[in-house]
Chain A
Amino acid sequence: MSFDAEKEITKLWNNLHAAQADIGRTYYRWRRAALEIAGPDANPLDVGLKAAEVIGAELGKAALPRLNWLKGEETWLRSLAGGIALNWITQGAVVKVEPGENPFEMFIKWERCPWPSYAKQYGVKMEEDVLCCDKILQNILPDVNAFFNVNYKIETLKAIPRGQGVCLRRLYKDHS
């Protein structure tokens, strides 16, 4: 029985990275096509933000079957934050989730993310990358909030494309 573990792992690893890179390339190819269809008067940022809105809403819907209130709100919130992080982790980002000092507050920290590199590669402004990411995250929450009858919000505190080293988002319960 012959089995070369190093070879198998390398093959897996390479294919994973290739698949991850393809996600970025596919998005920016789609963006170019959308802009060509929209015509010269279209604002590229508007196109990106519209896509982000749809992506976010879809991620929110996909989160619903995975979230569970049985173990209480804190566990539920950790699971929501973890689910958000996982969406980026599968795309090649390094994301950590930490509880905040206040109750019902979580921080999601992107220590490494491939998306600013894709933006650069396709000549897209760094700020568009930040705003689109933010839009995705904002649009995850409406369905989640409606489904569980809660009011959570998310805000961007730091962003890699802004030269701040990490992307840092605060997910928190809005008591207002």
Chain B
Amino acid sequence: MGKILFEWDYSKYPGAKKYPHLFKPVDIGGLTIPNRIVYAATEDNLNSHDGFVTDADVAYIRNRARGVVGGICFMQGVYMDEARMGQGYVGQAACWDDKFIPGLKRLADAIHEEKAVAGFQLMDCGRVGAVEVEYGHGPSTVPQRLRIFRPMYEMSKAEIEEMVQQHIDTTRRGLEAGFDIIEISGIVGYLISNFISAYTNRRTDEYGGDIRGRMKVVVDIIKGLREVCGPDVPIGIRLCAEELLDDVRGNTPEESMETYKLSEEAGVDYISATAGWQESIVPVISRDVPQGSWLHLSKRAKEHVKIPIMMAYRLFDPKLPNDAIGKGELDIWKMCRPMIADPLMPKKVLEGREDDIRWCVACNLCLARLFRDAPMTCYINPLCAHEHDPRYTDPPKAEEEKNVMIVGAGPAGLECAYVAARRGHEVHIYDKRDVIGGTLNEASKAPYGDDELWTCIEYQKKQCEDAGVQFHLGTEVTGDLISEELPDSVVLATGPVYPTLEVPESVKPKLVNVLDVLSGDAQVGDNVIVWGNRKPGIGVALHLAKQGKKVTIVGKEKSAGFDINPSFKWRYLIYLRQNKVKAYNDSDIENIGEGELVVKTYDGYRFPLKFDTIVLTEREPNEGLKNVVQGEGIELFVIGDALVPRNLSSAVHDGYRIGTRI
């Protein structure tokens, strides 16, 4: 039994009974951690561009620390060199000088105030770093495959030794700031992983060669850190259990396991297992990868080392890590994205409030934003990175309590409804359907994991019920109903309209709506044209292609999936190719005849395509009811796809914002 920093008793909580393995203590080095939950070090781009910690980051971390209910909460990885070659994100925290200690201490204090264990991560971004300078540093000058990353500069032996010393000095600063655990980041393409991988380390000196040579720098760092930390402060390392870089001659899985053994021998107290690099060409953490897919890696790691193994990577459902820990295939449940979507997720699991969790939908918008120098944003959680602004996260009661009519019980309407109701309004939500969820009822039937999108509706339903929102399902809102009810405010969240194409009368039966196709209510022939190349078009195209139909997409956007975030879009483009779906982008349908239409490209070329069915996926704003509401002089808001057809994220964020403003 090691030192216990904060006493926690989980025995009274339902979650501890349901998931007993998650809420039992674990020894890591000289510490005993009360539970098996860790918030992983995650960049958020919230700090100042010269590396100083900001109020926004402190508030962000405080929320996550509250969420781990006594577990470990890591702050983001810090870069350690004044030259900023190790800086991979514009808002990354720095720690190359003592002047950064006071800011870092604020983070450690915030974590401790929530009775959680404070984790400090050392992260030189190496090959994917140098975001503010011309050259990145690494073991060898292997060219970049992705041009967004900087050219590489080969480190001399002296520079490697200096880098090792930077790790040691930074650790000393982290300890002075009050952190309890030190972690080395050696994953996804960052500097330490560059040394470890055969792909990026071509050195022939003592820092290169076989896996032992490539691990020398890691061993040197671990030994140096141990001298600073002493025997009691735990040291861990994040290491790839599989690099997934076979296409560029990366490490074999056996070599990766060797890195685990060498790290254990060098003295680390735990290993955090990961899979893949940013340059990997296979999906690792996106929604199309089933949850629990990577648990075999933690199991393999457990077979090779005796120290505790942590793992994140598509382990959203607490049952998965709980069972894996129970079977001895994992020791600690680590996560970042689920706690970006809901900072209190593990706390709610403990308290038996799983229906109150806003689940991550694994869209990777958070990553896409970080890579584009933008602050952290969550697709599904409008409060993310606003934690320092209480007026936004906990909006004050409305000065005047209003009777609010929300038209449409889709994600935009539901989000708006509970936020407005919490602020004291009397909220009535109407939908002509008998069920809530709007077009997400159909959209969540698209393949490659879109069923996970439905968790958003389940969360919103619970919030609406708790906030006292009154549902009027199966009720179509008309001008007469509005005139009769005369609410103080109307929010139109009706979803989009789907314009049809001009076709001869005989062709009309061959035009079907995307929603009818996804719900299975439409007859669809074998040869299908999907009109529209945004996400709804791609989703339905893949849905039909998987049924063995020949599908062609024609759309006006310059590229298919224009509205999908770049960190996920590439997956869809691959799936379109794999399912033999041809997409004609930047194109229009010029003319439609019996079973054949003419496509006109942006530069004027025309060619014919045959079809049995045309699926309409193009959307337009819904202007219906707007004039009626304005004519009655009622306060009006239009949100979600009714305002501008976009995606689930925009619907949720629109709904939240307007909910705070009514």
List residues of A whose CB falls within 8 A of some B CB: 1-3, 5, 8, 11-12, 61, 64-65, 68-70, 143, 146-149
- Contact assessment for B247 and A70 in the assembled complex, using a CB-CB cutoff below 8 Å: yes
**Cross-chain contact A64 with B145 (CB below 8 angstroms):** yes
With A69-B247, A69-B249, A148-B249 as known contacts, state yes or no: A3 contacts B608, CB within 8 Å: yes
A148 touches B606 (CB 8 A): no
Return chain B residues, CB-CB under 8 Å to A146.
141-143
Stretch in B211-219, B535-543, B589-597 with 4+ CB within 8 Å of A? B589-597
Given A1-B593, A65-B145, also A12-B605 (CB < 8 A) = yes
CB-contact partner of A1 in B143, B145, B247, B596, under 8 A: B596
In chain A, what residue has the closest Cβ to B504? A1
Can you name 25 A-B pairs with beta carbons within 8 Å?
A1-B591, A1-B593, A1-B598, A1-B608, A2-B591, A3-B607, A3-B608, A5-B608, A8-B605, A12-B605, A61-B147, A64-B143, A64-B144, A64-B145, A65-B145, A65-B146, A68-B281, A146-B141, A146-B143, A147-B142, A147-B145, A147-B248, A148-B249, A149-B198, A149-B199
Contact A3 B598 (CB under 8 A): yes
How far does the alpha carbon of A44 sit from the alpha carbon of B606 in the complex, in Å?
A: 44
> For B82, what are the chain A residues with a Cβ–Cβ distance below 8 Å?
none
- B142 / chain A contacts, CB cutoff of 8 Å: 146-147
**What is the bound-complex CA distance between A141 and B141, given in angstroms?**
15
Taking the complex as formed, is B162 at the interface, i.e. its CB lies under 8 A from any CB of chain A?
A: no
Residues 94 to 142 of chain B near chain A (Cβ within 8 Å): 141-142
Contact for B143 among A12, A68, A147, CB less than 8 A? A147
Judge whether B202 is part of the interface by a CB distance below 8 angstroms. Answer: yes
Count of residues in B whose CB is under 8 Å from the partner chain: 26
Q: How far is the CB of A141 from chain B (nearest CB, A)?
A: 12
* B389 in contact (CB, < 8 A): no
Is there an interface contact between A70 and B246, defined as CB atoms closer than 8 Å? yes
- B248 — which chain A residues lie within 8 A by C-beta? 69, 147-148
Bound-complex Cα distance A143 to B151 (A): 11
- Complex-state Cα separation, A23 to B265, whole angstroms: 60
Give the residues in chain A near B592, CB-CB below 8 Å.
1
Task: Give the nearest-CB partner of B147 in chain A.
Answer: A61
Query: Using Cβ atoms and an 8 Å threshold, which residues of chain B touch A64?
Result: 143-145
Question: Closest Cβ of chain A: how far from B487's Cβ, in Å?
Answer: 50
Give the distance to chain B from A19, nearest Cβ to Cβ, in Å.
Answer: 11
> Which residues of B sit under 8 angstroms from A149, Cβ to Cβ?
198-199, 202, 249
Contacts of B246-274 to chain A: CB distance below 8 A: 246-249
User: A5 contacts which chain B residues (CB < 8 A)?
Assistant: 607-608
Q: Interface centre among B143, B147, B248, by most A CB within 10 Å?
A: B143
Separation in Å of the A96 CB from the closest CB of chain B?
Answer: 26
List 19 other contacts, CB 8 Å, given A1-B597, A70-B247, A147-B142: A1-B591, A1-B593, A1-B596, A1-B598, A1-B608, A2-B591, A3-B598, A3-B608, A5-B608, A8-B605, A8-B606, A8-B607, A11-B604, A61-B147, A68-B281, A143-B143, A147-B143, A147-B248, A149-B198
CB A36 to nearest CB in B, in angstroms, measures: 31
B 25-53 to A, binary, CB cutoff 8 A, 1 in contact else 0: 00000000000000000000000000000
Q: Which residues of B contact A1 (CB under 8 A)?
A: 591-593, 596-598, 608
- Complex Cα spacing A5 to B246, Å: 45
List residues 213-247 of chain B with CB under 8 A from any CB of chain A. Answer: 246-247
Per-residue contact bits, chain B 386-414, to A (CB 8 Å; 1 contact, 0 not): 00000000000000000000000000000
Residue of A with least CB distance to B152? A146
Chain B, 570-598, CB within 8 A of any chain A CB: 591-593, 596-598
A148 and B248 alpha carbons, distance in the complex (Å): 6
Hey, which chain B residues are within 8 Å of A147, CB to CB? 142-143, 145, 248
Distance A76 CA – B271 CA, assembled complex (angstroms): 35
Measured CB to CB, the closest approach of chain A to B270, in angstroms, equals: 32
Distance A8 CA – B202 CA, assembled complex (angstroms): 53
Which chain A positions have C-beta within 8 A of B144? 64
Q: For the complex, what is the distance from the CA of A65 to the CA of B146, rounded to whole Å? A: 7
Chain A contacts for B198, CB-based, 8 A: 149
Chain B positions within 8 Å of A2 at CB level: 591
With the chains together, A140 CA to B142 CA distance in Å?
Answer: 15
- Please measure, in the bound complex, the distance between the C-alpha atom of A143 and the C-alpha atom of B248, giving whole angstroms: 13
Contacts of B605 on A, CB cut-off 8 Å?
8, 11-12
Instruction: Report how far A68 CA is from B604 CA in the complex, Å.
Output: 36
The CA-CA distance from A61 to B604 in the complex, in Å, is: 33
CB distance from B307 to the nearest CB of A (A): 32
A68: nearest chain-B partner, CB-CB: B247
**Which residues of B sit under 8 angstroms from A8, Cβ to Cβ?**
605-607
| Chain A min CB distance to B593 (Å) | 3
For A3, the chain B residues whose CB sits under 8 A away are 598, 606-608
For A143, what are the chain B residues with a Cβ–Cβ distance below 8 Å?
143
